[in-house]
Structure 1
Amino acid sequence: RDEQQPNGVLPSIIPSNGWGYEWGNGPDWTSTITIIPWNIYLFYGDQKLLADCYDNIKRYVDHITEISPDGLTTWGLGDWVPVKSVSPVELTSTCYYYADAVILAKTAKILGKPADEQKYTALFNRIKTVFNQKYLNPNTAIYADGFQTEMSAPLYWGLVPDEYKSKVAANLAKRVAADNFHLDVGLLGQKAILNALSENGYADVAYKIASQKTYPSWGWWMENGATTLYENWKIDAKSDISLNHIMFGEIGAWLYKGLGGIKPDPANPGFKNVLLQPNFVNGLDHFEAKHAGPFGTISSSWQRKGKRILFTVFIPANSSATVKLPKINGLQVFADRKLISADTLQLESGKYTLVWK
């Protein structure tokens, strides 16, 4: 907040000695003013940072609106350091502009500001409409040129109309297959692609990307001795080659979300109610994730035993969990030897083992 200018603009680095207000900033970089307070709220149930930053978020979103009267914004760096395919800055920056407006509208509701809630709800609906009018081909369910970033960013940030989600996700999966299950993204695409796939029925495809060991991939770095995250997919690049850079780090969070399935519940933030949506991906026989939430450690573990899959969860005291039960062809779900026919299961605190057999 200290670095924000009166018109709402933030620099691309903080703290700043004055550099970064004219280059490198924009919704794709400086939406931190919105996204960080929102995630603190989701993960800890604490509204204070949202309340403290509320006016700053408003100034920021209002500035984007002022310079982007048609609802689409070209302000930003775009999909920084891509493998090969270059996506329009307008597409990626508008996704973040939309996300900012959505968070602002939700925050207004939480803080009891109905006029602002109505104003920014109308704004994000308008952004979504003009975005899809320009970039979505309704006949093919393909965004722009169909590159990985162009397909995954709208899915991840929620701009895809409900009636097109399954088709867009299928087209994204086809694109990844055409790219030999390797990444063809930059910074913004890597944030979206694994989540967009695993949240829309293609966790196996996401895992194929995540587990690659040849270029371009996270595994390629490791095969070449990396013990940290790099700034560039190319290990012999001549620029943008920091060897300790978080920007391609979404894979770490995805392991918890996409495989372990541990997610905060926006309706009951701070893990008062845990969302558990595991994916038993092909090619992996065992996975375990633990998250230290405000009520204690949440554990999600699954393993294959012959033709069975065992899913063991631990929900800490004074909290609960909503489990989305994966559908596995030919297998049924049992809890305490009782058949579970529902798609979801509500659990109170304690340790449970569910069996697919």
Structure 2
Amino acid sequence: MKLTDLRVNHVEEPLGFQLKPVSFSWMVTEPGTAKKQKAVRIRVFENKEIIFDSGYDEKADNRDYPAELSLKPKTRYTWSVEVMADNGETAEAESWFETGKMEEPWTGKWITPELDPAIQPILRKKFTVDGASEASRLYICGLGVYEAYLNGEKIGSEYLAPGYHSYDFHLQVQTYDVTGLLKEGENTLEVWLGDGWFRGRFGFGEGFRNIYGDKIYLIAELYHGKELAAATDSTWESHPSPIVKSSIYDGETYDARLEAELETGWKGVREEIPKDCGSLAVKDLPKEQQIAEEQPLLNDRYSLSVVKKESFCPIEVIRTPKNETILDFGQNLTGWVEFDSALAEGEEIILSAAEILQDGCFYRENYRSAVAEYHFISDGKKRHVRPHFTFYGFRYMKVEYVDKSGKPTEKPEGSVDNFTAHHLRSDFDQTGYIETGVKKVNQLFQNALWGQKDNFLDVPTDCPQRDERLGWTGDAQIFSETACYNMYVPAFYRKYLWDMRAEQSIIGGSVPHVVPRLKRELIEGHGSCAWADVAVVLPWNVYVHYGDKTLLEECYPGMKAWVNCMREKEEALGGAHLIKDGFHFADWLALDNPKPGPFGATDNLYIASAYYYWCAKHVSLAAGVLGKTAEETEYAKLAEAVLQAVREKYFDENGLCNCGTQTGSALAIMFGLNPSTETRQAEGDLLAKRIAENNGHLSTGFVGTPMLCPALTETGHDKIAMDLLLNEEYPGWLYCVNMGATTVWERWNSVKPDGHMNPEGMNSLNHYSYGSIEAWMYKKVCGLTATEPGFKKVVIEPHTDPRLGSVSCEVETAAGVYKTGWKYEENGKVSFCAEIPFDAEAEIRLPGQEPKIVGAGSYNMEFTPERR
């Protein structure tokens, strides 16, 4: 028996993360003959002194073990977990966590360079350290984005720090271990700064500048042991950096010749606090909307590090009909390209990003105004080259060379080599895997997985390439269940949900269209159905997958605030417990509206009212989990009242949804809106009929698509659900696979059969929303569904289909690793296998057999599939 994945607040060995509250989790692997947990002991040490001891707790939960700890700033703690099993075996493991500055006052001052505000600067301080090497830490926040260097070496492995968050509510501090970089004697700390999201161009179209501030800022403290060795103040120096310009959308220009100028010409800095940042206090709001009594300007980080996760070499170098040189990396990805340069002084290389070629040539019109280029001007020295303060969404990179006179030229012989694409995202890993007997379905799985990888760079964005890259709440809501199966994302979502609650706190509990909210034009809007409902759907899905009550309680005020917001609005309009007005994206990009435009045909207010019911119901469930009995009852009553109102207005005398669309029926089935089991089944039959009438094709958009196959399966229409999955025509999931996609598209037909982009626009080729089909694949095709949050108890009920041939699935859940699989054999039967982790329980349901409840272990069975 081994203990692995020791985490604090879902982060392994967190350094300087937000640690209020504290929750421990771990996993038992290789249990041998052990089946169940008997007791657990958690201990926390400060310098070998025990500050917390749970004793042997028979009720300990490996998914979430909260501990009341009185923590000190800038302090490392070790913690151990000991597990006793039912067979008498024990296992123990140890890990650590370290606090950041917490609420400790800062000695360092905010500084800004005395340079032209448009410049991307370097700020530096030379200082002396005496004595032997000791544990050393750097506490730092730079705005917009920064990289720090100590004695010429980059500090840490992360990029684009401090990330993208609601800067007007809080500024996140990063903590770095710099022990190995600090030396006795003179040291130099340099911080390179760029515009980033903070003040660079951001938003739709030409976007906006200076959204959060119009200057570059830095605050830092470096400690050698317990001694403060350096801190930002007016004695620091500033200088323009060789990064001539940088932009999230447009890319970066690096002129290496300017490095020579760093020897002289350093200017001063001045002490200045960032204007308005962190100024949106929430203490005067109703308690349920508060995110803290008063949020300080600076706080320890929530954001996971943005790091390099995977690398790709070009699979082909293409020479186009226009005589362009294009590198094909074979995968649409988020990140950048690095290379080794031996260009002569003054020679330039330009890399331009694209997702697709048109007529065999470079194409980036779907990036809209995003230039998405990288320029490197050589100083004649051999070097490794990479961007610093930008990122790209791309599969292809066009390569151009410019000579010393500024004229385009062919590649100088031996001048550039080793192009490598590096994928950047927040630092979490894959947990879910599916492989079927159909290669195109396997490619679809990879496409949806990559859509998540590419759009989870600090914020769950809609797309990573064009002039948008915003944290659209609708996309986040729709994909959240799939996201939790695919990847280990509770800490990632914790940060997003913190920002969401912060934004809610100034708009009456409503939820923005995008988080962080830019507070500009369309994207300052809020309260749209299926978008704003993320405030309840997302934390509930996170709870179901990870079983963390501590995190659920942290998110509960935002869940409740959104339902209260809806209730206040509908009561102000005369009650009746229905949503009666407002702008709603609703079933965005559905194909069933005869009118031109992106809006679906399903009644927006029906969708909004249905979500109102679902959210009220799940706030009640959350209140029950958290022991809030009075609120559990209150919201249960509200949910029932909304449900009855929805049925009266939107359902006919036969108990069927009267919206007349696939989405209307799918929503009714999955939200339980039909008044009886019989009418729910009839709704499923009606849904199947509507699909048949549409030539066997779907017509759903953002709301209906995630629910379509689940609704069919729930009402016994398994074959039709599989028909939709396997459909290779437009509209269908495999259409884009056949068109060579390696990610999921924004539209079902973003690329036309002739290979040209859809002239209607909005053609991101890296939008993960329709990849939400994967949740159904995990739950119904593979058969793995949690019946207890965190997967301590599951139902395994696979829905097989001979066209798939076989399926294998592995999911590393909060309770441990589950494996399921099935295969059609030559004798016409289906062989089935399952693996259940330690201290977990599964109810296996197979056709023609009685349900079987089993504990930890491996199981192999055979059954006769149902006729179709």
TM exceeding 0.5: yes
Deviation at 1:203, TM superposition (A): 1.8
- Which residue does 2:545 correspond to in 1? 43
1:150 to 658, 664, 677: 664
1:16 to 517, 523, 528: 517
Residues 1:269 and 2:789 aligned together: yes
Residues 1:325 and 2:827 aligned together: no
Tell me, in whole angstroms, the C-alpha distance in 2 between the residues paired with 1:42 and 1:255.
17
- Which residue does 2:777 correspond to in 1? 255
2:561 to 36, 52, 59: 59
2:732 to 205, 212, 217: 217
Tell me: CA distance 1:273–1:350, structure 2 relative to 1, closer, same or farther (3 Å).
same
Kindly report which structure 2 residues correspond to 1:1-357, keeping only aligned pairs within 5 A, or say none. Answer: 1-6=501-506, 7-19=508-520, 23=525, 25-68=527-570, 69-73=575-579, 74-75=581-582, 76-85=584-593, 86-139=601-654, 141-163=655-677, 164-235=679-750, 236-265=758-787, 268-305=788-825, 306-326=827-847, 332-333=848-849, 342=850, 344-357=851-864
Unmatched segments (≥5 aa) in structure 2: 1-500, 594-600, 751-757
Tell me: CA distance 1:130–1:22, structure 2 relative to 1, closer, same or farther (3 Å).
farther
Amino acid at match of 2:843: T
Tell me: CA distance 1:259–1:308, structure 2 relative to 1, closer, same or farther (3 Å).
same
Deviation at 1:321, TM superposition (A): 0.4
Tell me, in whole angstroms, the C-alpha distance in 1 between the residues paired with 2:547 and 2:841.
15
Tell me, in whole angstroms, the C-alpha distance in 1 between the residues paired with 2:729 and 2:669.
26
- Which residue does 1:336 correspond to in 2? none
Deviation at 1:21, TM superposition (A): 6.6
Cα deviation, 1:136-183, whole Å, max 9, x if unaligned, reads 1233x5312431001001111222222311111111112112222211
Tell me, in whole angstroms, the C-alpha distance in 2 between the residues paired with 1:276 and 1:199.
15
CA contact (8 A) 1:101 1:120 kept: yes
Cα deviation, 1:87-112, whole Å, max 9, x if unaligned, reads 11011122211111111000111111
SS at match of 1:67: helix
Deviation at 1:246, TM superposition (A): 1.5
CA contact (8 A) 1:274 1:320 kept: yes
Tell me, in whole angstroms, the C-alpha distance in 2 between the residues paired with 1:118 and 1:237.
51
Tell me, in whole angstroms, the C-alpha distance in 1 between the residues paired with 2:802 and 2:642.
38
CA contact (8 A) 2:840 2:856 kept: yes
Amino acid at match of 1:66: E
CA contact (8 A) 1:204 1:282 kept: no
Deviation at 1:195, TM superposition (A): 0.9
CA contact (8 A) 1:25 1:77 kept: no
Structure 1, 275-284 or 198-207: larger mean CA deviation: 275-284
Deviation at 1:116, TM superposition (A): 0.8
Amino acid at match of 1:17: L
Deviation at 1:230, TM superposition (A): 0.9
Off by >4 Å, runs of 4+ in structure 1:
none
Cα deviation, 1:210-257, whole Å, max 9, x if unaligned, reads 111101111111111211111111221422211111221211221111
Deviation at 1:130, TM superposition (A): 1.0
Amino acid at match of 1:193: L
Deviation at 1:24, TM superposition (A): 5.9
SS at match of 1:310: strand
SS at match of 1:233: coil
Tell me, in whole angstroms, the C-alpha distance in 2 between the residues paired with 1:48 and 1:206.
37
CA contact (8 A) 1:203 1:258 kept: no
The count of corresponding residues between Structure 1 and Structure 2 is 340
- Which residue does 1:339 correspond to in 2? none
Larger Cα Rg: Structure 1 or Structure 2?
2
Tell me, in whole angstroms, the C-alpha distance in 2 between the residues paired with 1:285 and 1:165.
30
CA contact (8 A) 1:264 1:270 kept: yes
Deviation at 1:324, TM superposition (A): 2.5
Cα deviation, 1:109-138, whole Å, max 9, x if unaligned, reads 111111111111011111111111111123
| Higher percent of residues as helix | 1
Tell me, in whole angstroms, the C-alpha distance in 2 between the residues paired with 1:193 and 1:201.
13
CA contact (8 A) 1:198 1:206 kept: yes
Q: Among the aligned pairs, what percent are the same residue? A: 29
Superposition RMSD in Å: 1.7
Tell me, in whole angstroms, the C-alpha distance in 2 between the residues paired with 1:126 and 1:26.
21
Tell me, in whole angstroms, the C-alpha distance in 1 between the residues paired with 2:768 and 2:576.
33
CA contact (8 A) 1:44 1:270 kept: yes
Amino acid at match of 2:721: A
Deviation at 1:22, TM superposition (A): 5.4
Amino acid at match of 1:323: I
TM-score by length of 2: 0.38
Unmatched segments (≥5 aa) in structure 1: 327-331, 334-341
Tell me, in whole angstroms, the C-alpha distance in 1 between the residues paired with 2:638 and 2:862.
45
CA contact (8 A) 1:79 1:188 kept: yes
SS at match of 2:707: helix
SS at match of 1:187: coil
CA contact (8 A) 1:83 1:233 kept: no
Structure 1, 295-304 or 16-25: larger mean CA deviation: 16-25
SS at match of 1:94: helix
Structure 1, 70-79 or 83-92: larger mean CA deviation: 70-79
CA contact (8 A) 1:42 1:264 kept: yes
CA contact (8 A) 1:156 1:192 kept: yes
SS at match of 1:72: coil
Tell me, in whole angstroms, the C-alpha distance in 1 between the residues paired with 2:525 and 2:626.
33
CA contact (8 A) 2:517 2:524 kept: no
SS at match of 1:322: strand
